[in-house]
Each structure stands twice: as C-alpha cells, then as structure tokens.
Amino acid sequence: MIFIGTIIFNNSLYISIMALIKKRHMLFFAVILAASLLIFDSCNKGEEEYPLNGPNLSMDDIAGNWKATHANFNSDTLFFDVIAEGGTVTLSIQSNGRFTFTITLPDEPNDVSTGQLGFDEQWLAIGFDEDPGEYVYYFIELDKGILTLRGEAEFDYGDGGERPGSVDLVMERI
C-alpha cells in the first residue's frame, strides 16, 4: 500500500493512476506542439514568396537600373504625367528580386518605395516593404530594352490624399 496525502491506494490502482497521468502529460504536450505548429504556420501565411522566373522573363532579364520615359498615373477623374511635370521615375532591380522605386518631383520630397519582386505566371508580383504580405500584380513586358509596367496603384495627385488608380510606366535601362 502507498500513502498519498490521506488517501491509501493499492499498487495496481497507483500504477493505473500514474499511467493515466503520463497519458495526460503526453496528450498535453501533443496539444501544445500542435498549437505551436498551427501558430507558426499561420504566421507565415501572406508572406508568400514568388519565383524569380516567369514563363517569358526572369529577374535576371530585368535586373538593373531603369528610368521612365513615360510615367502616367490615372484615377477616375485625375491624370498626372510625372515626366511632363518635370519629375523622374527610377526603378532599381536586383537579381534577387529586391527593388527600389523612386518618384522625384520638383519642390517635393522624393517618394521612395522598396520591396520584393517575383513572378506569378506572366504577371509581375510586387510586394512593398510597407505592406508586408500584400502583393499587387502588374503587366510586364520587356521588348528591345524597353520595360513596360501597368497596374493598379495609389497615388497622391497633389490634393492631400492618395487615391487608387492605374499606373503606366515605360522605362529604359540606364
């Protein structure tokens, strides 16, 4: 007989209780492990990385420094031509997909965005560092050294707030 507190158990009951406690501990650890894996997996959702190769282009094809010869932003009611306004648009792309996109306008601070590029089939997937896990998808074409990008973007048209619209960029390698 074994004394536990003021309760007396015989050996077979004690062994059964200890086996039950061990099973519960194992079940507890299994639940903790499963919960940890689920939390870890859900933290990675939305941080999808896209491949550096598409069906027609690779990141190596577009890596380098680019300057826009045509840079238009359009919303439902507004149109803004960065080049006509005396501005410049540059894009620097590394072969690992990291990029820096800069819009420079006279008498305005530079608008600089950084992030990660990849390919989603024929589309260029663009993930901005300021919006982790979020991607926008642009039409991309490289023809005779001219890079064309078209897609949806938010832009400040100079009236104090950003509006959704479209962007149309034609760029030459510099």
- Measure Cα distances from 149 to 49, 69, 146, 169 in Å: 20, 12, 10, 5
Assess whether pLDDT exceeds 50 at residue 6: no
Torsion of CA 70, 75, 76, 78, to 10 degrees: -70
Angle at 81 between CA 77 and CA 56, to 5 degrees: 100
Of 114, 166, 134, the residue nearest 50 (C-alpha): 134
CATH domain 59-173 topology: Lipocalin (2.40.128)
Q: Which pLDDT does position 67 carry in this prediction?
A: 98
At 43-54, the pLDDT tens digits run: 443 445 899 999
Residue 128 structure tokens: 């901005």
Which region among 25-39, 42-56, 88-102 has the lowest average model confidence (pLDDT)?
Answer: 25-39
| SS (HEC) of the chain | CEEECCEEECHHHHHHHHHHHHHHHHHHHHHHHHHHHHHHHHHHCCCCCCCCECCCCEHHHHCEEEEEEEEEEECCCCEEECCCCCCEEEEEECCCCEEEEEEECCCCCCEEEEEEEEEECCEEEEEECCCCCCEEEEEEEEECCEEEEEEEEEEECCCCCEEEEEEEEEEEEC
Q: Which pLDDT does position 162 carry in this prediction?
A: 80
Report d(CA 23, CA 19) in Å as an integer.
6
Assess whether pLDDT exceeds 50 at residue 62: yes
At 111-131, the pLDDT tens digits run: 999 999 999 999 999 999 999
Q: How confident is the model at residue 23 (pLDDT cuts 50, 70, 90)?
A: low
Residue 32 has phi, psi (to 5 degrees) of -60, -45
Q: Are 88 and 104 in contact (CB under 8 A)?
A: yes
Report d(CA 81, CA 102) in Å as an integer.
15
